[in-house]
Structure 1
Amino acid sequence: MTTDTDKTMAGIGTWDLFPLEETAFTQAQQLSLGCRIPQKQNAIYRQALALAAFAEWLDYRAPRLSLNQEHCSVTQPDYGHLVEAVSFLQVGEFKICLLPNLMLTSPEWQLPKAVQDIPELAAHLYILVGIDEEQALATIQGVLRYDQLHDLTAGLSPDADWNYTLPVDAMAPTKAKDLLVYLHCLDPATIPLPVADGVVRLERAELTATLTRHQTDPVAFPWSWEHYAAILTDASLRAWVYDQLQQDPEAISPRQPLAQTVVDVRQWLTTQVEDLQQELAGWILPPPTLAFRFDDPVESLLTQIQAETGLTVPDTAGRAYRDVRGTVPGLRLYALTWMSASGWQLLLILGTTKHHPPAHGVTLTVQDATEIQWQAQLQPPKGYLYVQLSAPLDEGWTITVTPLEGAASTYALTCRS
């Protein structure tokens, strides 16, 4: 591994960042595809990246210490889809829990209540692993002992997904150097952990009723804390739930967006980003300014497309992208929109982000109210698809992204007068 570099992230401070090896992304993709719930593969991918980053850091900074990941949760999809953390790791006698964070500039991070309050998942050390996927960089943002974490969450209430929202600053005093001191000098016995009282037994019929109710509200997290804890501590029940979620992942997978998202594209030209992001239910919209450019391979593709077709995309065009959940990690749908004399214009580009291989076999379909207007499939060696569309106000299209395996993702785009 090359030597660490310093990089300052606005609003957060200075961390020691180190480059992630290319194999980290390949292995993360392979592990994510091992999860048979397509909508949860992105979560497994994030966890796998955090694991790879920590393994690289430990190998470089403490080569005499070994990481035992024989029972790691990220290799057990029935755990990985339920908890956004990497559990069951050990360094020496230390139980380790990794918390992936792919938003380095965010002042907050998410702590699953389960990894603190369920004894089987509790750890001596909780490590926040920051990852800049686009730059292939990672960092140890901080570490907290179990007792420190317990004090930090005292009096706090988790959200509906059973996560605590904590400030990154809470980890500021304890960064990578403190972690090295802990691993080399601290006795794990000085950090007492809770002891399990035994498995809470539930009848499957109780959970079946919950899943049935959840079909009418797929956005809400379905489990009460009692049910959630029981699932996580009962291996047979956890395996059964995992199998049930595979039967109809679109209907009952927790915390996924609705299958169809209606978008008023003309509003992309405004600067009301915060309100608009909520309305678009997952589209990510930076303010459309002259200086804005996609920090992504699509920027060079856009230049190439304009050169090939003679298309002129104004600098003030609204720009957005949507990470397409499903069986193809890194798949992203980009959209640029602007007004012209003939109506509103839309340029769609489908491809994968950096550090992901081209997504072959994925079909992009565009149809209006009556028929399919355009359809193509990603085939080697080309790694992207694009199409330009034009329509009068109050008309639009249905956009469908269909992988070779797994459910399709559908979006309805219109520009209202």
Structure 2
Amino acid sequence: MLSLSNFANIGTEHIWLLSLLDFANIDTEHTWLQLDIAKQEEAWQLSRHHSNPIARYNAYLNRVCLSHLLNWVQEWLPEESGLRAQVFPSEQSLPSILEVVNGTAIKVGETRIVLVPTETIDIEELRVPQEWVDINSWAADYYILVQIDLDEDDDSSLRLCGFTTHLQLKNQGKYNQSDRTYSLPMEQLTEDFTLLFATLGVNWQKQVPQGVTLSSAEAQNLVQTLGDPSVYSPRLRLDVPFAQWAALLEHGGWRQRLYEQRQRLPEQWSVLEWLQTGISDFARELGWMLVSVRPNWSGAREANLTPALALPVLIRRLEIAGQQYLLQVSPIGSIEQRIWRFELRNATEGGKIPGGMKLRLLTEELQTFLNNEAVAATAVDQLCVEVKLEPGEGLVWEIEPIPENYTQEIWWF
């Protein structure tokens, strides 16, 4: 169990919220929250888009937990800190995660907090899915056990039972091979949440080894195998090593394809199909639009390009570091020439791309290639990357700093 003595050797510069919070106002023991009916109904509607009843109910419990605790955490963040409690990795990632794993995560600055809900009445332990502990980019600093009581008389509530750290879970927890979880007895959890708020910013993660990299063929084979919706718990397929399963989940594009496959949906990220029949529902939900414009490629490779009166352009508005930007994707010349231009601009007329910002393209296996990146050395009007692709090739786009609600997408050309 954590106590202030655990922090004796941590420099005071790391405990940056300790003097900002009025601890007297926090219920430090058995924190209960009344559930809001509207939030419950919204969670239920959002949870309908899953492949089977178990996944739907799991998504419902997790969304109820997440929506209430996002507000609770935000209420205890001092306004002067400038911090926000945000869904991690993004709101758009939730369906593909909750289809196969229990738990959601909140990000406060660089600190990650995983919420693990349960309806168990007599709770004996916290059980955290291995994914939230051993996937490098998912591993959290804190893990909170949340008991949810869904009352038929609309008197539902949740209780924050206690929390632990990644360090404690790995050092003192028990690994359970049968369900791929780490467990810790209730008596070893910390119930005083003032300690959590007081130590936001402390890195409680042990070094998590880098996972394996899947080839495109391996990933597609796993998606085909585990995408059968009759497989209720693909994460427990012991014939699939955890390292491979983790690599599939950590890659947002492959995880999204697994989710779509389990919904029995056709390919959602074929750019050529978008241009012929309109963009897919998933792309539209993420904010992508398809428009036709007269090309004006300043600085583009125009030699031997077939002229066109108008070409289709895919556009998405992004928020990056509090500013609005536009990411545009369009063919150069005719579509048959397979030369594509990715361009980032400030959404404000006359606005600039600040120095240090990067626009990067990767293969579907997240590998770099020649001339795959544009970097703003100083403030510039635009960043652009042009690439010639073979039929069936896939690309993943990235921007630094990371846009709000970014999730990896594999675009197939």
TM-score by length of 2: 0.48
TM-score by length of 1: 0.48
